[in-house]
Each structure stands twice: as C-alpha cells, then as structure tokens.
Amino acid sequence: MAKVKVLDAVVNGVTSGNTLEVSAEDAKRLEAIGYVEVLEEKKAPARKASPKKDEDK
C-alpha cells in the first residue's frame, strides 16, 4: 500500500489536495501520468520463518 496525495484530478472519488491509500502498483501508475504524488510507500512486514519440527522424535 502507498499513501498518495491527489494533484489535479479525481481518483476513486477523492478530489485534488486530499490523500488516500492505494496499492503500490496503482500509485506508480497514477504518479507516472501525473495524477498523484506518492507521499510514502508502506511495505508489508517481513514474515518470520516458523520453527521447524524435529523429525527425529
């Protein structure tokens, strides 16, 4: 997910000057065509490996 600021457009019903959260792919696409400015890109938390069960028992 990415937090974006809408520039001179209406994105998902949100008007110019407001912020919203969109997927990272959508944020890149909308920024490329000049509709939004990416404020921050949130990354998914790293997954921890689950402990392996001992096969010897």
In this structure, is residue 55 part of a structural domain? no
In this structure, is residue 51 part of a structural domain? no
For the chain, the domain total comes to 1
Q: Which domain holds residue 29?
A: 2-41
Question: What's the pTM?
Answer: 0.69
Each of the 57 residues of the chain gets a pLDDT tens digit; together they read: 999 999 999 999 999 999 999 999 999 999 999 999 999 887 766 677 777 776 665
In this structure, is residue 19 part of a structural domain? yes
Non-local CB neighbours of 33 within 8 Å, separated by 6+ positions:
none
Geometric angle at alpha carbon 32, from 45 and 8, rounded to 5°:
105
Residues 8-20: tens digit of each pLDDT: 999 999 999 999 9
Geometric angle at alpha carbon 1, from 3 and 16, rounded to 5°:
30
In this structure, is residue 16 part of a structural domain? yes
- Rg of the chain over all Cα atoms, to the nearest angstrom: 19
Alpha helices in 1-57 (DSSP H): 24-32
